[in-house]
Chain A
Amino acid sequence: MFVVMALLVGALYAAAFYLLLARSTVKLIFGLLLLGHAANLLIFSAGGLVRANPAIVPPGAESPLPGYADPIPQALILTAIVISFAVLAFAAVLVKRAYVESGTDDSEEMRASEQ
């Protein structure tokens, strides 16, 4: 399982960087999206892959069932997903505005800020 996850994380990173290097700014957004997913999956795998009980105290008990999964990586990923949701929404609007302003989605032609 660990090997599969490692390969998956690698594939996601590869795809993300491929898209980031593309000239189209729309692909840029998808690249950033995949980059976030890759990092999240990396956290998930690095936190330890176990088949275990949820880390919730059942009603009436004092502690969760023994052998519970670590909830921290899940909490981290949840936070990271929410943040990337907000940031990517902004980035999508930005790309659209930039397209309207400069009439192109080719990042090679976006040189107005360098003149």
Chain B
Amino acid sequence: MNSLVFRTTTRAVTPLLLAFSLFMLMRGHNEPGGGFIGGLLAVTAFALYALAFDAGQARALLRVQPRTLTAIGLVLAVASGCLAWLAGQPFLAGLWLPFDLPAELKLGTVLLFDIGVYLVVLGAALLVLLTLGEE
């Protein structure tokens, strides 16, 4: 799409969308949000970029191959489950660090799992979108 207005807006909106997707990811523990929604929001950021410019440039913006993202996300999700196992708990049980970060951020394996989901959704959806967009 060759529109100056659209391109300029996209440049401004893409970082906002990405930041918002991270916010949704962190918010997900106790309130609506989480890895899946966050990941989809991040996908919309790249999809918008691909629409305004082209799929190749969106891929360049991503820097990493989408399939690598998916693989890393899957590994993180499995690792979060296995950590509980190493600690003598059943597979996928939630473990938490004893201290809280500022702004009531709790760190634990659940967050690790959510980050994994975020990366898987981002990688898999972008793989489909960019492949179709480049055809």
Contact = CB atoms under 8 A, between A and B. Distances in A.
Contacts, number: 5
Contacts of A82: 36
B1 interface: no
A93 B36 contact: no
- Interface residue tally of chain A, by bracket? under 10
B128 A89 contact: yes
B60 interface: no
Interface residues of B, number: 4
B64 interface: no
Nearest to A59: B30
B69 to A, nearest CB: 16
Interface string A56-89: 0000000000000000000000000010001001
Interface in A83-109: 86, 89, 93
B132 interface: yes
A82 B132 CA distance: 20
Residue among B36, B124, B128 facing the most chain A CB atoms (10 A cut-off): B128
Interface in B11-58: 36
Contacts of A89: 128
A86 B127 CA distance: 12
Contacts of B132: 93
A6 to B, nearest CB: 30
A47 to B, nearest CB: 20
A93 B36 CA distance: 22
Nearest to A86: B124
Interface string B112-135: 000000000000100010001000
Rank and list the top 4 A-B pairs by shortest CB-CB distance, nearest first.
Answer: A89-B128, A82-B36, A93-B128, A93-B132
Interface of A: 82, 86, 89, 93
5 contacts: A82-B36, A86-B124, A89-B128, A93-B128, A93-B132
